[in-house]
Structure 1
Amino acid sequence: MLKYLLYVVYILIGISLGVWLFPELQMLLPFEIPRIFNNILISGTLGVLLFFLLFGWTLSHAHNFLKKSEGYLLSRSLVEIVFATLGMVLGLVIAVLISLLINTLDIPLIGEIVPIVFAVVLGYLGFIIGLRKFSEVLDFFPKASQKAKADGNQIALKKFIDTSVIIDGRIIDVVETGFLEGEIIIPQFVLDELQLIADATDPVKREKGQRGLDMLNALQEKSRNVRIEPVTYDKLDVDQQLIEIAKKEKGAILTTDYNLNKICQLHDIPVLNVNELSGAIKTVVVQGDVFELFVSKTGKEENQGVGYLDDGTMVVVENGENLINQMVPVIVTSVLQTNSGRIVFAKLEKNK
């Protein structure tokens, strides 16, 4: 649909140029043109042919540019788009006022070129400021802000994703469940770091980087709220750059990095740690609980069997060596907390 619309725009531009340009050219020619060419249809048709001959190669580039722009706008919230539009309109109004002042000076050429430059620059600046600073504009209306908070209608924080959480991969399952609201933003420097890891000579690092790129593709497929944000930088320092961009955009950071988590807390930046989330939703088992367990291997001690809960917690079954590769009912006898996690001790439930 967009491509056909571009064709229509190009045809209209060609017709306009032909109707305006060819009569002027005929007056400049030293010989008389046949009357058949003194026709608006002929002029328009020749204008379309000439325009496509000269600028037809730009059609695919214009189509790709508009597609990217469409994807960029669709990834933004309606509030951001409204404020960006208002900012652009305000920028254009300021450009018109400046142009009126310049026209009073009556300076040749400047009065024609400068207004166009001001319109482009101020329109763009207004759009960007409205897009990036809309949350600060909302802060000027405390009553509206308080009402929004009271109604529970706060705008969801932007989430800036760390390299570690992409390589980890569990974020894909979290996104798929719909627990994360708002935009998930992958800054360009995070993507660059992933590329560096994927191109490393160390096979372990290279495998991690390639896994991260695969996870990133899967993440973009799972959610429409995921986007890559271009960021210019002088030196690649992902942790520091994440902190700076989260401060600037008043967003949160998604990570599995313990040290980055602590640094963000010092800077008063909201952190969403996937490891903490995983720990919070682990299956809670206490002494006396009965559940079905698949015994997968033998334990370290004599006559022990070992199985695992859905969250990966190890369950050691007393007298379970002969139950390997079987699904059996067990009862929890004790739970041991260690530095590496929990270990559940159980025995066969004889009542079942």
Structure 2
Amino acid sequence: MAVRLFFLLVGLLVGYGVGRLLTLLGLGDGVSATANTAYLMLAGLLLSFLLGPRLERWLTQSFESFVRWFSKLDPRRVTAATVGLVVALLLSVLLSSVLATVPFYTWYLNILVTAILAWFFVYFALQNASSFSGLGWSTAGTTRKRANVKVLDTNVIIDGRVTELAKAGFVEGEIVVPSFVLRELQLLADHGDPQRRARGKRGLIVLEELRGAVPVRVQEWDAPDVAAVDDKLVRFTREIGGKLVTNDANLSKVATLYGLKVLSIHEAATALRPKLQAGELLDVTVTKAGQQAGQGVAYLDDGTMIVVEDGMKYKGKTVRVTVLSAVQTNLGRMVFAKTVGD
């Protein structure tokens, strides 16, 4: 609302300014000049009223794009570019002082030299941005916190089940792979041991499949003072305020002690495992016939269908059955059983 009022005010001022300009140019005087100014102010007001919503949307989108771009900036690269620009400006000032007495050194030549120096030093600083971590800025601690971020460890990538979970929509939000995890996969893929080499190659393949299914971002981050990859994972996840996705039980316990939210693939698989296992005994009431001849159908309290072999003869009765197998279908969980003694 404030933006639209601002546009209306600008329209009035522009109309007033144009009217006064026409008066100064002699295009009207007295009552006609006042009428022209009023008409132009009204025209500016109407034009601002018509174009205001579009300008407001454009400004809002531009501001949101700038915020998204700014939030993704690497603090080290910003620092490097700033230092490079400052060095270029200092050298330009020194050259201007030294060459001020030279006849051919004009102001436009000074601007050209300054632009060349700025391009060179900023480009050089950006190419060596990682070196600025030794000037007091640590690569750890410069990562911005973001909402709903999932951090993948090496084992969960090699496991591969996270890809299916992501395709099914159970792993939502931004998925981040730290650069040191990617380097560990590369080292495994180049290892002399065939088993480790196969694990590393599988991890890289799974990561490519995951990137094809959902957006995955590799975050350049490292902590030179920390040797263990698991310790780096815990520190990185804490700094960005994310959730750690893993299937390593020990890492899961350590991360939980540090107050991190952990998404364990193993725990998810255990939770999705059928509750009824082969050999368990159940007391069920056969309610109707099954699809095959002689089959009876019963239901548990949670709606699970129990298909009882030769159970139709017990229709309307409660019988004890033994679970033979349990399967998961699109319609829900289905259990096959037979009566005890058959």
In the superposition, the TM-score normalised over structure 2's length comes to 0.46
Length-normalised TM-score, structure 1: 0.45
